[in-house]
């Protein structure tokens, strides 16, 4: 991994599928690790701390921090996965919203990566989780890292014990689970990932990274 640089981080985020993106600026310069460039992208990819980004979001929108019954699922756009992204245009072609907004027919430049619940990430004992963004030069001439999030409201769920264990303890946890014990899984709830991807595509169309 490249040596860390300390840059301002600009965090774009949308809440519950809104077309309006909110900008949170990091109060301080965060450690940023450049990943390099590719032939299909102009910018330089870099990673930074997920937890620090969430702290900035909560600082900008403190109403998001009430984790009594409500929580937020986190989806972070990873632009480094652009070449691996599936063709979401085909999946979205049947929706009325896509037909009324032709720009949403194009797949977004990246993949929305599920990062769990916001309360889980903020309560994590370490700072190992990272997100990927693009380094850009601002109007001031300074470099900054830009990352994009989609937050979706959901019921708060306590973090399952298996998520709290490290890899070295996962086998131990599995050995404590009776093989014959029935597992009662709640009905799956639709996550509407396509809607989050559409919002990210709308953001990219309205705010090209070259103009930010």
- The model's pLDDT over 21-49, given as tens digits with 9 standing for 90+, comes to 999 999 999 999 999 765 455 578 999 99
More confident residue, 159 or 39: 159
Least trusted range by pLDDT, from 106-120, 140-154, 157-171, 186-200: 186-200
Q: Do the domain assignments include residue 99?
A: yes
Band of the pLDDT at 167, cuts 50, 70, 90?
Answer: very low
Q: Do the domain assignments include residue 30?
A: yes
Is pLDDT at 153 greater than 70 in this prediction?
Answer: yes
Count: domains in the chain: 1
Report pTM: 0.66
Q: Do the domain assignments include residue 211?
A: no
Q: Do the domain assignments include residue 212?
A: no
Q: Do the domain assignments include residue 95?
A: yes
Question: So what's the pLDDT on residue 82?
Answer: 73
Beta carbons of 130 and 47 less than 8 angstroms apart: yes
Domain that holds residue 161: 5-177+185-206
169 Cβ contact list (under 8 Å, min separation 6) = none
CA–CA dist 72, 109 (Å, integer): 23
Q: Do the domain assignments include residue 92?
A: yes
- The model's pLDDT over 78-124, given as tens digits with 9 standing for 90+, comes to 998 876 655 544 333 343 333 333 333 344 467 899 999 999 999 99
């Amino acid at each position: 991994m490249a040596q860390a640089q300390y840059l301002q981080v600009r965090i774009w985020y949308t809440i519950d599928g809104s077309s309006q993106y909110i900008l949170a600026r990091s109060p301080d310069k965060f450690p940023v690790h450049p990943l390099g460039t590719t032939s299909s992208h102009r910018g330089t990819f870099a990673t930074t701390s997920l937890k620090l980004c969430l702290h900035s979001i909560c600082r900008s929108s403190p109403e998001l921090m009430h984790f009594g019954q409500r929580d937020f699922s986190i989806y972070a756009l990873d632009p480094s996965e652009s070449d691996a992204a599936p063709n979401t245009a085909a999946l979205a072609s049947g929706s009325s919203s896509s037909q009324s907004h032709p720009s949403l027919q194009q797949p977004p430049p990246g993949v929305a990566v599920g990062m769990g619940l916001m309360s889980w990430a903020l309560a994590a004992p370490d700072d190992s989780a990272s997100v990927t963004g693009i380094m850009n030069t601002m109007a001031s001439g300074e470099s900054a890292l830009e990352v994009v999030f989609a937050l979706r409201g959901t019921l708060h769920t306590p973090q399952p014990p298996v998520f709290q264990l490290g890899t070295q303890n996962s086998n131990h946890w599995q050995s404590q689970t009776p093989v014959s014990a029935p597992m009662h899984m709640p009905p799956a709830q639709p996550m509407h990932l396509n809607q989050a991807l559409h919002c990210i595509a709308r953001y990219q169309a309205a705010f090209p990274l070259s103009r930010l």
